[in-house]
Amino acid sequence: MTTPLDQLRRAGEHAEDSPTAERGLHRTTREDLVRWARAHMRDRKLVVVSNREPYTHVREGGEIRVVRNAGGLTVALDSVSQALGGVWVAHGNGNADRATVDRHGRIACPPEAPAYTLRRVWLSREDHARYYSGFSNGALWPLCHIVYVRPRFRLEEWQRYREINQRFAEAVLAEVADQPAFVFIQDYHLALAARTLKERRPDLEVALFWHIPWPNPEVFRILPWRDELLEGMLANDMIAFHIRAHALNFLDNVAAALEARVDHEQLAVHRGGSRTWVRHFPIGVNTDEIAPMAESEEARVAERAIRSHLGLEGCRVGLGVDRLDYTKGIPERLEALERFFEKYPEWIGRFCFIQIGVPSRIELKEYRDVLLRTRALAQRINQRFPRPGGPTVHLLETNLDFRDLVAYYRMADLCAVTSLHDGMNLVAKEYLAATPDLDGALVLSPFTGAARELERAWIASPYDREGMADVYHGALTEPEGSRRERMAALRETVLRHNIFDWAIEVFDTVQRLTLRTPGIDPLEAHGG
């Protein structure tokens, strides 16, 4: 069957000299997504809904600064929203967010070239504590990540989660008014929003993308409100995951918990006269934005400044970029680094590691523990393996603007992505996109969704300190020709399936399945 992506790729095969061509490879572009939308979405308005906002306004001294949030999901979807316009509904949590919006909580984004409307939803401290820190990250997050942190279930947090989900849905309905729309809900914070939307506007197309893992029924059954959560999710026309295993786990959970007909052949749930499709789509990054940023003069200047400031002259550089989260394997990464220096002392003074740790959910004890453990390990490594030019490990506890982060990707000889459990992890793909010179190495945990696609990476289990130390050494000593060939293959994988491919696949599948276009077999739709 010929799909819209096949047509777009064939149309661009002759364009070897186009700015998106690399090694004869046509890449789906923002313009391709726009053309697809004009042909297929027509009068439907795109509404993206997420807890986190793509741009935050912060007050520093007497001035207000705009920060483009560096999280992989927000950066990726910002590219889609810039291409298609519409509205993005998100929690406004910057200390100057209220001062920059109109009376309806709206502001045009991105600030330098407005393309869509950001509608901010306001949460009180108690809302944040119960809905976000409480149920979302104290219950759902540990429940879905198999890292042996016990979930915490509290009725008042579940109740507030339901209330905030309804509040987000109300904001969406206000933005949609009586227009037709495609509402694209993001992640575990908003699992119940679709129910309110469909009760009020059953004509809306609504899809939920669940970006974190989904556990098997034996794990998920401990959630006291399991049935209600699943029922709320099934209000969506489609539920999507990054990898097939998580989609199948979800279907198994529905079969185990609810009175429903689960169709494992067509990957669908039939319940109460409605049908919800379940699919998987591994998300990509905007390679056409990231690569030019990495090659820009600004990035080169920034790299030189970082090297000088951190005293990195004469050192190979390793990099980790993570939220300070117990699922990301940061202490395990540093323990393996310590073992690396023990086993391969020739690298002492010749290899430095930068760990960018974004402070996250520090109101929760488990996150404070990760922060303290990471600090202690960095200090211990620096004491054991001193270096004349400066620390061996630089721990930067900061939330960088994405444009600043690219300079770190550019300079890294090795990027370590060592999650204990992850739905995808876009840091791995961003690093590859930001390394067009192919001079680098990706060390990747097998417990990330990205490992399913990036098979040529250096795969290392964060639970195996000895093995990871050996992988660090192998990645740093691989002959140049082999290293560049490996990076070229990895980079081609990222280029072949970028964020615009992903958006077209998701949007096209929703329409094909919900409209049941004549002549289209649902099993042949993308992601199925």
SS3 at position 238:
strand
What HEC string does 127-139 produce? Answer: HHHHHHHHHHHHH
List the beta strands (DSSP E) in 159-256: 181-186, 205-209, 238-241
Q: Which long-range contacts (CB under 8 A, 24 or more apart) does 246-249 make?
A: 246/210, 246/213, 246/214, 246/280, 246/423, 247/214, 247/278, 247/279, 247/280, 249/214, 249/215, 249/216, 249/217
Q: What is the pLDDT along the chain (528 residues), one digit of tens a residue?
A: 444 444 433 433 333 333 334 555 668 998 999 999 988 887 899 999 999 999 999 998 889 999 888 777 888 899 899 999 999 999 999 999 999 999 999 999 998 899 999 999 999 999 999 999 999 999 999 999 989 899 999 999 999 999 999 999 999 999 999 999 999 999 999 999 999 999 999 999 999 999 999 999 999 999 999 999 999 999 999 999 999 999 999 999 999 999 999 999 999 999 988 999 999 999 999 999 999 999 999 999 999 999 999 999 889 999 999 999 999 999 999 999 999 999 999 999 999 999 999 888 878 888 899 999 999 999 999 999 999 889 999 999 988 888 899 999 999 999 999 999 999 999 999 999 999 999 999 999 999 999 999 999 999 999 999 999 999 999 999 999 999 999 999 999 999 999 999 999 999 999 889 875 333 344 444 444
Bridge partners (DSSP) listed for residue 358: 323
Strand order of the β-sheet with 351-358 is 393-396, 351-358, 316-323, 414-417, 442-444, 458-459
**Which structural domains are found in the chain, ordered by start?**
4-284+500-517 (3.40.50.2000), 290-496 (3.40.50.2000)
Place of tokens 């986190």: 52
What confidence score (pLDDT) does residue 515 get? 72
Residues whose CB is less than 8 angstroms from the CB of residue 288 and which lie 6 or more positions away in sequence, other chains included: 19, 20, 27, 29, 30, 498
pTM of the model: 0.89
How many whole angstroms separate alpha carbon 370 and alpha carbon 500?
35
